[in-house]
């Protein structure tokens, strides 16, 4: 089995979105707007939701941000998680404003009675808490721990990973001592080997807390997407992970796109179109890069799952992309349109893009009419599209 069965986890409810158990892996992101500006924050939440984000985290760094929450939470189109550090009154304000989830580490709140107050209110309101330990901000390792790991012959990687796990367990214990179990956990690191080892170790422990995955501060879109895909993708393939966030230094809607590409690659979720495009080689006879980009632009507007192939030669194209629902092989002055590897029509190069779009629409229309995987007979080709003779 290539993708391991999911680690069994308890089910949490974040504002109606179910997390854990057999529920699909949930895509999360975070606003970059100033939370003190409700209009800007709501606009970004809407933009993220339209991109497919299912839960949005918002930073609540101070009282002014907390004071804006009543103007944000009731109008948000997806459930919200308040990201809070140190200050328990901010968590209380978020809970009073109707927040759906908290991200806070109880061990970072100084007074035990303050933690108790937050946890009691979260419990009353059935609001889950995510404990999030990041290697960059985790408490320094005590000497006794370093000595213990040295005695066990642990490598630097194991030392770091184990410290992330122990830190998370410390926060979890505070919640469990208060009889709180609606907890989700993340153990983020920038170094993928540390991240993998930490999650692997935590997942082997006898608890069923859902896990949120992410590579912290992954970077700019190109490198950050790859790093996130390796880190998050590897864990998901091991059956670990219930929610994911791709952290990128760019507009967060890009994070949502990358998150779905990771889930689609592992066939854990389907969302919108998947494009297969050949890298081109010495046989290519058209500007495939530009053609593929035009198809990509067209596919971005399609929400239903469909696989579309764009191939650079008519000799190998259809055969190389047999699994595509619909495809185009371009070259030699013409374009061959195919479905599931079977050629349905050949058109002049000038018509090939429109013909491909037309065929994609036909596939979607067929599905809506209950016709599955039927290779379109030429007769069904609608006369609305004027074709140049090949």
Selected range binding ligand SF4 among 53-61, 172-180, 308-316, 357-365, rule: CB under 6 A: 308-316
- CA dist 191 and 233 (Å) reads 14
Q: Are 97 and 84 in contact (CB under 8 A)?
A: no
Q: Is 343 in the site for ligand SF4 (CB under 6 A)?
A: no
Q: Is 311 in the site for ligand SF4 (CB under 6 A)?
A: yes
Q: Is 324 in the site for ligand SF4 (CB under 6 A)?
A: no
Q: Residue with structure tokens 């191939």?
A: 311
Selected range binding ligand SF4 among 48-56, 93-101, 164-172, 276-284, rule: CB under 6 A: 276-284
Q: Are 355 and 298 in contact (CB under 8 A)?
A: no
Selected range binding ligand SF4 among 4-12, 63-71, 279-287, 289-297, rule: CB under 6 A: 279-287
Q: Which is nearer to ligand SF4, 174 or 326 (CB)?
A: 326
Q: Is 317 in the site for ligand SF4 (CB under 6 A)?
A: yes
Q: Which is nearer to ligand SF4, 66 or 311 (CB)?
A: 311
| Cα 333 off chain centre by | 40
Tokens matching residue 226: 């790859």
Selected range binding ligand SF4 among 22-30, 31-39, 123-131, 277-285, rule: CB under 6 A: 277-285
Tokens matching residue 220: 């700019």
Provide the b/e sequence for 184-217 (b: ≥16 CB within 10 Å): bbbbbbbbbebbbbbbbbbbeeeeebbbbbbbbe
- CA dist 327 and 319 (Å) reads 11
Q: Is 250 in the site for ligand SF4 (CB under 6 A)?
A: no
Q: Write down the least CB distance from residue 327 to ligand SF4, Å.
A: 10
Q: Write down the least CB distance from residue 291 to ligand SF4, Å.
A: 12
- CA dist 301 and 293 (Å) reads 13
Q: Write down the least CB distance from residue 283 to ligand SF4, Å.
A: 4
- Spatial neighbors of 274 by CB under 8 A, at least 6 apart, are 264, 305, 306, 307, 308
Among residues 361, 359, 365, 315, the alpha carbon closest in space to that of 337 is found at: 359
Q: Write down the least CB distance from residue 314 to ligand SF4, Å.
A: 8
Q: Is 291 in the site for ligand SF4 (CB under 6 A)?
A: no
- DSSP letter assigned to residue 79: -
H-helix segments, the chain: 38-51, 63-72, 88-96, 112-124, 143-151, 156-177, 192-203, 221-237, 252-265, 288-299, 317-320, 352-368
Selected range binding ligand SF4 among 121-129, 135-143, 274-282, 378-386, rule: CB under 6 A: 274-282
- CA dist 146 and 134 (Å) reads 18
Q: Write down the least CB distance from residue 266 to ligand SF4, Å.
A: 24
Q: Is 316 in the site for ligand SF4 (CB under 6 A)?
A: yes
Rounded to the nearest 10°, the torsion over CA 162, 168, 170, 172 is -140
Of 152, 283, 322, 380, the one binding ligand SF4 (CB under 6 A) is: 283
Q: Which is nearer to ligand SF4, 279 or 389 (CB)?
A: 279
Q: Is 281 in the site for ligand SF4 (CB under 6 A)?
A: yes
Q: Is 224 in the site for ligand SF4 (CB under 6 A)?
A: no
Q: Write down the least CB distance from residue 349 to ligand SF4, Å.
A: 15
Of 284, 302, 343, 364, the one binding ligand SF4 (CB under 6 A) is: 284
Q: Which is nearer to ligand SF4, 137 or 332 (CB)?
A: 332
Of 56, 198, 313, 337, the one binding ligand SF4 (CB under 6 A) is: 313
- What is the sign of the dihedral through the CA atoms of 225, 230, 236 and 240? negative
Tokens matching residue 287: 């500007």
Of 312, 318, 327, 335, the one binding ligand SF4 (CB under 6 A) is: 312
Q: Is 40 in the site for ligand SF4 (CB under 6 A)?
A: no
Q: Is 280 in the site for ligand SF4 (CB under 6 A)?
A: yes
Q: Which is nearer to ligand SF4, 311 or 347 (CB)?
A: 311
- CA dist 56 and 79 (Å) reads 6
Residues near ligand SF4 (CB under 6 A), total: 12
Applying CB under 6 A, which residues contact ligand SF4? Answer: 278-281, 283-284, 311-313, 316-317, 320
């Amino acid at each position: 089995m290539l993708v391991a069965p999911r680690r069994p986890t308890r089910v949490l409810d974040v504002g109606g979105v179910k997390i854990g158990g057999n529920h699909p892996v949930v895509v999360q992101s975070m606003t970059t707007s100033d939370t003190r500006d409700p209009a800007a924050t709501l606009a970004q939440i809407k933009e993220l939701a339209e991109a497919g984000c299912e839960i949005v985290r918002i930073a609540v760094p101070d009282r002014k941000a907390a004071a804006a929450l009543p103007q944000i939470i009731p109008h948000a189109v997806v459930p919200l998680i308040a990201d809070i550090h140190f200050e328990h009154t901010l968590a209380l304000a978020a809970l009073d404003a109707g927040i759906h989830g908290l991200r806070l580490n109880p061990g970072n709140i100084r007074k035990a009675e303050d933690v108790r107050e937050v946890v009691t209110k979260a419990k009353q309101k059935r609001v889950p808490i995510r404990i999030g330990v990041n290697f960059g901000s985790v408490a320094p390792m005590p000497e006794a721990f370093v000595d213990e790991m040295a005695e066990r012959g642990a490598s630097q990687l194991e030392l770091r990973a184990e410290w992330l796990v122990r830190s998370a367990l410390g926060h979890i214990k505070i919640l469990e001592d208060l009889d709180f179990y609606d907890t989700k956990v993340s153990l983020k690191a920038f170094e993928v080997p540390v991240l993998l080892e930490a999650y692997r170790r935590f997942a082997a422990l006898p608890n069923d807390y859902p896990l949120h995955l992410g590579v912290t501060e992954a970077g700019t879109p190109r490198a950050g997407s790859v790093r996130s895909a390796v880190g998050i993708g590897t864990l998901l393939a091991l059956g670990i992970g219930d929610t994911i966030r791709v952290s990128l230094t760019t507009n967060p809607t890009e994070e949502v796109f990358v998150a779905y590409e990771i889930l689609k690659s592992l066939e854990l979720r389907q969302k919108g179109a998947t494009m297969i495009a050949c890298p081109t080689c010495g046989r290519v006879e058209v500007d495939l890069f530009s053609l593929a980009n035009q198809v990509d632009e067209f596919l971005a507007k399609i929400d239903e799952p469909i696989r579309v192939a764009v191939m650079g030669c008519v000799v190998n194209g259809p055969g190389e992309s047999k699994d595509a629902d619909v495809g185009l092989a371009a070259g030699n002055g013409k374009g061959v349109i195919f479905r599931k590897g079977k050629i349905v029509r050949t058109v002049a190069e000038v018509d090939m893009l429109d013909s491909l779009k037309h065929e994609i629409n036909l596939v979607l229309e067929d599905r809506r009419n209950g016709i599955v995987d039927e290779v379109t007979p030429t007769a069904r080709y609608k006369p609305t599209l004027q074709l140049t003779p090949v």
